[in-house]
Amino acid sequence: MSALSEMYHAIKAETDKAGATLVAVSKTKPVALIQELYALGHRDFGENRVTELLEKKEALPDDINWHFIGHLQRNKVKAIAPFVHLVHAVDSERLLREIDKQGRANERRIPVLLQYHIAAEESKYGLDPDAPGALLETIDFDDLAGVAVRGVMGMATYTDNDEQIAGEFDALAETFRYVGNKYFSGQESFRDISMGMSGDYPIALERGSTLVRVGSLLFGNRN
């Protein structure tokens, strides 16, 4: 077995046990490595650049579930709207409305997650978990026929302090419950918490993650 397949099986055993989905983050990595995991039966891959995603999609089988995990610019939504499996990081009404528009144009509901800023580090991305409804109050989701809000996403602080990371993931899980109850009550489709990366996915699985996004631990460090 190659190092990649060995690591894949080890991580996959953990996500399976927790009932979570492993998103293999293949950004910057060659198509050949994606093919190697595809041959093992893996179908969920994550990218954070539209141009790179389109190139890889073109070169690979059609039944891959492409997750868009990074900041998505509004003018790039159209290019991925026909096929994207899940947009992980929606944090503005303007982006949400553009995804809705492109979803309608493609006669589909594009699945999305709302990104919350749970880390201590400064970031211009992510909704404020202390005001979880800020984006939601003004939107009538019955009018958004082109999107399906599936849950929430967040990134913990980059630190060795496991307690801090666990606390941040707990805050995201709490936000998930609050938003689900208040704005999507009774909707089974509101079900996902995307949290956990190479350095912290075991903690995320303990804290209720349903989608972990693992890149460098699988494929090796990025340059």
Ligand X SMILES: *Cc1c(COP(=O)(O)O)cnc(C)c1O
CA–chain centroid gap for 140, Å, is: 23
CA distance 212 to 25: 10
Cβ-based nearer residue to ligand X, 132 or 196: 196
Nearest residue relative to ligand X (C-beta): 215
| CB of 13 vs ligand X, minimal distance in Å | 17
| CB of 63 vs ligand X, minimal distance in Å | 22
Cβ-based nearer residue to ligand X, 70 or 202: 70
Cβ-based nearer residue to ligand X, 99 or 211: 211
CA distance 52 to 42: 19
| CB of 81 vs ligand X, minimal distance in Å | 20
CA distance 66 to 43: 8
| CB of 113 vs ligand X, minimal distance in Å | 11
Question: In this structure, how many other beta carbons lie within 10 angstroms of the beta carbon of residue 87?
Answer: 25
Sign of CA dihedral 138, 134, 213, 221: positive
Instruction: Report yes or no: 91 and 127 within 8 Å, Cβ to Cβ.
Output: yes
Instruction: Give the residues lining the site for ligand X (CB under 6 A).
Output: 25, 27, 48, 69-70, 197-199, 213-217
Cβ-based nearer residue to ligand X, 23 or 144: 23
CA distance 62 to 87: 18
| CB of 186 vs ligand X, minimal distance in Å | 29
Cβ-based nearer residue to ligand X, 110 or 153: 153
